[in-house]
Chain A
Amino acid sequence: MKLTKIMKGVLAAASIAAVGSFAQAQQAGGSLVFLVQPEPPTMAGYVSTSGPIGLLGPKIYDGLVDYDNDGKMVPMLAESVDVSPDGKTITFNLRKGVTWHDGEAFTSEDVQFTIMDVLKKVHPRGPNSFKEVSSIDTPDAHTAVFNLDNPAPYMLRALSSYESPMVPKHHLEGQDVKTAKLANNPIGTGPFKFVEWKKGQYMRLDKNENYWREGRPYLDRIVGRFVPDASTRAAAMEKGEVLYAAYNAVSNVEAVRLNKEKDNIGLTTDGYSMINPMALLEFNTKEGPFTDAAVRRAISTAIDRQYMIDTIFFGYGKPATSALSSNFSATGLHAKMPNYPANGDVAAANKILDDAGYARDGNGVRMKGMFDLIPYGEDWKRGGQYIQQVLGEIGIQVELRYEDVPTWLKRVYHNYDFEMNLNYFYQLSDPVLGVHRHYGTNMIRKGTHFVNSSRYSNPELDALLSAGMTTPDATKRAGIYLDIQKILANDMPVVNLFELEFLVVYNTKLKGAYGSAMGAYASFGDAYLD
């Protein structure tokens, strides 16, 4: 019952925090206009984890729990969570008196339906997160009991309103979930109600007067604005027309400038720890010049990670030190590995290639290759140019290729028609959710994006990955992931470059919007204007 106690302790702390926060003078009212970039395709956060949906969806939909900046669970729709000693039965005690925006009551049946019929079936990551959940019992309207085939410690890290929003059964039951009208007319239990979506302009959400949290939300309205041009977004931020921007909506160069020039504009890197973005190189391990692990180790050794962070990302980032993000240190899973020198070591890299028998030709070239770049903007192009240059120093001559998103996705994940690919992955809140998909043999899935495109397959690693999934004991789990990281530091089907630190740029007028580990993907129920 360890987890239960932890959860109750957290609950107590949270309620104290809540009482404490009432003592301050928060002003109710006002409109928060913030930047959403790009415009979301739909608002079906239960079908798509597309970033911009995450910026608006969690204001409308609640999750079972939220997570504070230390990654601890905070009650949301679930008031408490009980985990049985064998880890196979998890009971959620749901909040009473919660209603959907259309007035219907929120019950355990909604939870059952959301997990079993929606997230487990159509959510991109849900089938993984809830893999072990075989059924959900609903003994009464306010209790949902998850029955698991095996313990799934990572599942409790995937219950936020962004990752697993609770959706209304009465609007989806008996329909094709993927085409239901709910996608463009979201109805949740969250602090803000959907009002209007003007395509190409804004989405307007108004205060939910019947929100289950007394006195929340403070704001009368939240508007997400869509501004396609990066310079204009920075201008709107500078002028105070918008008060909040996350996920590079305002580029690092502009963010740093605004922060320096304007007293009322602040920066933070908080709010991305559950997302854990990692910049990396994917290699084709089946064909082409990079099939030899020694070459990949040499590349990892040559790249000056700190230089990339400092010159291209304005110092925001941390050099990668293993296959896992250092944010997993909190759960004891991360360990520093060799072959990831922060400042690059060209001499050592050259030695690896010499020892492996790759001789230079008359022009000093050992091998040639094609280098694809993630088509997400200028920063990645520059990153690619730097890597091209440094690889030249170790005799690997690569040609850069920058295409549009669909072409690139098709090339890398359908046709495997690539050799080396610059990319970034979300490692999410647990390696099972965000990292396994990159390395497992079962994740070589032609046509599925952002999985094992390297087609790396290692039975030993596969066994460790499945052990990592089902071992609840923290110490044992850390041992398993230590072995995983050792194997990956040697084989390197993927070379992690650095942990991206996205910025949140905010106007100091906006307060109370920074308390959740979900950052911009949080509910903003506590946000207010000063």
Chain B
Amino acid sequence: MNRSSKIIRYVSRRLIQGIPIILAIVVLNFFLLNLAEGDAVDVLAGEAGSATPEYMEEMRKKFGLDKPLPVQLAVYLKNVIQLDLGYSFRHDMQVTELIIDRFWPTLILMVSTILLAVGFGVLLGLFAAINLNTWKDSMVSVFALITYATPLFWVGLMMIILFSIKNDWFPTSGMENSAMFYEGFERVKDIAHHLVLPTITLSLFYLALYTRMMRASMLEQYGQDYVITARAKGVSERRITFVHVLRNALLPVVTMAGVQVGALIGGSVIVESVFAWPGLGMLAFESLFARDLNLLLGIFLLSSALVVAVNLVVDVIYCFLDPRIEVN
């Protein structure tokens, strides 16, 4: 059997294995979320000021909240299997529609964050490892420590004060200019302009992680036998670092990035909140307080599906990075 058909078989088997995992997550989430006091009707009626008990009873009936929990779960699972994520009664919209609406902003922010964090993290880690135990190495370590230890919301607010209020370089918040409503290429530029501060804020945090990891991973690889062999063969240090060590050192970083992509798609409540970025994290956060369980379960379902998918992709990427690893 050749390699590509092996990979295809492997991927399909893993996908089938993923289905029970995702269903188990749905069931678990369902019961966990139902442990919370109060329901969507309480919140809606509370916000409305006053509502009669009859009206609230009627709403519960309409939302299906009057049925026993196992029945509610069965109905939900039946819908999920038919790829119907249900209806958000709070937003009066289909859950799928709401999630897709928020998925793109999340994706834009997360992809740019991961690229920036992994890219710079790898470079800085590499730089530190090459200049091991010099002042350059220490500078990188201190930088990583500070960015990792600083609370995200504070970094975000300082960014806004520095680059938006003191210097009028970037807008404070939002995804596009809501006074102008640009279209076409102007809109792309406008969104990119709004993207800068949240991306930098969020990637500063992850950057530190990748820097430290890359540095440690490089040092570990330098100690391996194959490096000694290569030196004995007379391979140049430059070639050892960039061809042999770098490639091997990347493996743990890729693993880490894979795990994080899945988690990041769930959004970052803090950065989304500080920069009013319309991502999934804020949506999930708000739905929790509104007890909008359909929507929340939908977001969790999407996140878990993505984690399963991304892990699979990472495993496949391994095969290419390290030919010794085979799928079977």
Contact = CB atoms under 8 A, between A and B. Distances in A.
A125 B92 CA distance: 22
B51 A449 contact: yes
Contacts of A200: 102, 105, 276, 278-279, 282-283
Interface string A400-421: 0001111101110110000000
A232 B48 contact: no
Interface in B164-186: 164-165, 168, 171-176, 178-181
Instruction: Report, as a range, how many residues of chain B touch the other chain.
Output: 35 or more
A127 B49 CA distance: 13
A231 B48 contact: no
A41 B48 CA distance: 10
A404 B49 contact: no
Interface in B138-197: 153, 157, 160-161, 164-165, 168, 171-176, 178-181
A124 B51 contact: yes
Nearest to B270: A229
Contacts of B176: 201
A225 B277 CA distance: 12
Nearest to A52: B47
A26 interface: no
B91 A229 contact: no
Given A199-B101, A232-B160, A235-B165, A406 B273 contact: no
A239 B157 contact: no
A446 interface: yes
A241 interface: yes
Contacts of B276: 200-201, 225-229, 232
A194 to B, nearest CB: 14
Given A199-B91, A225-B276, A447-B56, A235 B51 contact: no
B55 to A, nearest CB: 7
Contacts of A201: 174-176, 178, 276, 278
Contacts of B43: 405-406, 409
B172 A241 contact: yes
Nearest to A43: B92
B291 interface: yes
Contacts of A42: 90-92
A49 B272 CA distance: 28
B172 A236 contact: yes
Given A232-B157, A409-B42, A448-B53, A50 B47 contact: yes
* Max chain A Cβ within 10 angstroms of own Cβ: one of B36, B62, B278, B290: B278
A127 B53 CA distance: 13
B132 interface: no
A448 B50 contact: yes
A254 to B, nearest CB: 12
Interface string A173-203: 0000011000110000000000000111110
B244 to A, nearest CB: 47
A122 B173 CA distance: 37
A236 B39 CA distance: 34
B2 interface: no
Interface string B271-288: 011111011001100100
A49 B44 CA distance: 10
A72 interface: no
Given A179-B62, A184-B92, A202 B52 contact: no
A402 B176 CA distance: 36
Nearest to A39: B286
Nearest to A237: B172
Nearest to B290: A41
A50 B49 CA distance: 7
B45 A449 contact: yes
B163 to A, nearest CB: 11
A280 to B, nearest CB: 15
A169 interface: no
Contacts of A445: 52-53
B226 interface: no
Nearest to B175: A201
B246 interface: no
B313 interface: no
A310 to B, nearest CB: 28
Contacts of A238: 165
A169 B326 CA distance: 67
B108 interface: no
Given A50-B47, A183-B92, A409-B43, A236 B173 contact: yes
A448 B173 CA distance: 38
Contacts of B39: 406
Contacts of B59: 178
Interface in B283-328: 283, 286, 289-291
B68 interface: no
A239 B164 contact: yes
B278 A48 contact: no
B115 to A, nearest CB: 23
A81 interface: no
A426 interface: yes
Contact of A235 (B93, B173, B283): B173
Contacts of B275: 229, 232
B225 interface: no
A223 B283 CA distance: 20
Interface string A1-44: 00000000000000000000000000000010100001101100
Contacts of A199: 91, 98, 101-102, 278, 283
A47 interface: yes
A41 B47 contact: yes
A228 B289 CA distance: 13
Contact of B50 (A125, A202, A204): A125
Contacts of B119: none
Contacts of B157: 231-232, 235
Given A200-B102, A200-B282, A201-B276, A227 B173 contact: yes
Interface in A196-242: 198-202, 204, 221, 223, 225-229, 231-232, 235-236, 238-239, 241
B160 A451 contact: no
A235 B98 CA distance: 28
B37 A410 contact: yes
A154 to B, nearest CB: 15
A386 interface: no
B273 A229 contact: yes
Contact of A122 (B46, B55, B175, B272): B55
Nearest to B101: A199
B64 interface: no
A184 B59 CA distance: 18
A518 to B, nearest CB: 16
B105 to A, nearest CB: 8
Nearest to A403: B37
A409 B98 contact: no
* Max chain A Cβ within 10 angstroms of own Cβ: one of B39, B176, B178: B178
B36 A448 contact: no
* Max chain B Cβ within 10 angstroms of own Cβ: one of A204, A223, A227, A232: A232
Nearest to A243: B179
26 contacts: A41-B90, A42-B90, A51-B47, A124-B45, A124-B51, A125-B49, A127-B52, A178-B62, A179-B62, A200-B276, A200-B282, A204-B178, A223-B178, A235-B173, A241-B171, A405-B38, A405-B43, A406-B42, A406-B46, A409-B38, A446-B53, A448-B51, A449-B49, A449-B50, A449-B51, A450-B50
Shortest Cβ-Cβ A-B pairs, 6 listed: A406-B38, A200-B278, A48-B48, A50-B47, A407-B37, A227-B276
Given A448-B56, A450-B46, 5 more contacts: A31-B180, A41-B91, A198-B101, A238-B165, A406-B36
